[in-house]
Chains A and B, each alone.
Chain A
Amino acid sequence: MSFWDSLMGRRKPVKANLDALFALPSAAITLQTAAGFAPTGNGSVCYRQAEGAAFAQTQTDVVELLNADEGPDVEKSVDQYGFTWLVTRQDPTDMAALVTDLHAVNTTLEAQGFGPGLLCSLVGFTDPSGRRLGLVYLYKQGTFYPFAPVDAQRRDNVLEVQIRDLIKNDLPVESQLNRWMPVWGAPGL
């Protein structure tokens, strides 16, 4: 924020950066070959629901758009922090379709002026031993970080750091570790 804006007590909402999402399919291949983590085919978008009719209408439009294909329907849920999650499911082998779905949600919300309300997107992975891993995309940073929950409130930091080193050539990875926020119980993980 500029000096003048803080002097004037103005804070423009930070715009979301959507483009890096399309780097996900190549990272998925890296994860599969190097770490044995395969996509679950689940992806979710987390955003802040604005009050008023305009947002409700936009949200209905997005859900209808995603449900228009032959795959399973979109699931919508609200977490305990008041953020809305839209979970979309695609064929686990078709990462590109999943990313297209996620991108469609983002562009629709952004076109209606709700871009500042986007918090993160999440794509789920799992390995043969049953460990779960999520790649979380932070819109305001335009970066990804791994999130590997072990149980309700514990995360596997060693695995997360390993994954970071694997995918850092494919994706912009969040370099500040204090931004690697846990998303406990995130739908779609």
Chain B
Amino acid sequence: MAHSRFIKDTGLTARMTLVMFLLGLLFVALIVILMGAAAQSGYGGLVPIIGIAGLGIAWFQWYNSDTMALKAMRARIVTPDEAPELHGMIDRLCALADMPKPRVAIAYTDLPNAFATGRSPERAAVCVTTGILDRLTAEEVEAVLAHELSHVAHRDVLVMTMAASAGIIAGMLMHGARFGAFFGGRRNNNGGAPFWLIALVVSLVVYAISFFLTRLLSRYRELSADRAGAYLTQKPSALASALTKLTGDIAAIPNKDLRASQSMNAFFITPAISGANLKTLSSTHPSLEQRIEQLAKVSAELGRPMDGGFPSPGIGQ
């Protein structure tokens, strides 16, 4: 009896599964290759220690994600008395989504931005900047909050930390292998390449692959949060207009120094793949066009008449 307007995006799910599978494969490959190389050159005991230390760092990042992110943005937790409208909005959205209410923080900066952080939905915090509150209407702020609440519900901090753990370990190994290079390492007897060289090359490659894969995964998760947020507020166009405003604002302010950009043009890399360049491959958020296109799909789905409610001529018995 109950109909749902929520359609699964199988394409997005499939791509996300593939990326997560590849990240898992990368992690396993890193460990296996290092174990093999280490066993050959007599450093067998070292690899598990590095692996465990890397996972420990990933765990620490995940566990303290809320305090670290809020501190980095200089955000302050606000009470319902200090920001009644913001709290009222989040109260209602959480009741609508049936999720625990996160802590609410405001960062006093003119940069328009919003983010969600925290190791679990119970310990999450949602932060908006004063810049975003000044620029957006109440409806658009709500759309942005729904997007951030979707990140909380999807446990994005946990998933992204897990996804990045191979990269974190590879990064540690690069540092470790550099020391190995400086100190010359122990001479191995069987004439193969020294362990530190293998470790350096392998971790470099793993780090590079992991960098692009996690960025790709991050873009997919942004699209997921857009979708879920739009279904929550039932107003995809409010999110679309908020994104247009924010991206337009940020895009209009140049980041590069006038003098620096002149000389940088010489180093500009033109990739072989058309439509993709280094910037789109390494960005954490999908392009505005991609996001608006997806929101338009959700909007069409919400406006579609359903069977039963509207008599369609010619089909009745």
Contacts and interface: CB of A to CB of B under 8 A. Distances in A.
Contacts of B20: 7
B154 A81 contact: no
What range describes how many residues of A lie at the interface?
35 or more
B2 A110 contact: yes
B95 A82 contact: no
Given A10-B224, A115-B2, A53 B303 contact: yes
Interface stretch (B49-57, B104-112, B227-235): B227-235
A112 B3 contact: yes
B6 A116 contact: yes
Nearest to B3: A113
A49 interface: yes
Nearest to B84: A153
Contacts of B4: 12-13, 15, 113, 115-116
A163 interface: no
Contacts of A9: 12, 16, 154, 156, 159, 220-221, 224-225, 228
B302 A48 contact: no
Interface in B295-317: 299-300, 302-306, 308-310
Given A6-B153, A15-B2, A113 B225 contact: no
A50 B5 CA distance: 11
Interface stretch (B86-94, B174-182, B199-207): B86-94
A58 B236 contact: no
A22 interface: no
Contacts of A83: 92
Given A48-B233, A57-B305, A119-B92, A114 B5 contact: yes
A164 B273 CA distance: 65
Interface residues of B, number: 53
Main SS of the interface on chain B?
helix
B181 to A, nearest CB: 39
Nearest to A6: B155
A81 B92 contact: yes
A115 B4 CA distance: 8
A155 interface: no
A111 interface: yes
B25 interface: no
Contact of A54 (B98, B228, B303): B303
25 contacts: A6-B153, A6-B155, A7-B20, A10-B8, A10-B13, A10-B228, A12-B4, A13-B6, A13-B97, A14-B98, A15-B4, A50-B235, A51-B236, A52-B303, A53-B303, A53-B305, A54-B303, A54-B306, A81-B89, A83-B92, A112-B309, A113-B306, A116-B6, A119-B92, A179-B95
Interface of A: 1, 6-15, 48-55, 57-58, 61, 80-83, 110-117, 119-120, 138, 140-141, 178-179, 181
Interface of B: 1-6, 8, 12-13, 16-17, 20, 85, 88-89, 91-92, 95-98, 101, 138-139, 142, 150, 153-156, 159, 220-221, 224-225, 228, 231-237, 299-300, 302-306, 308-310
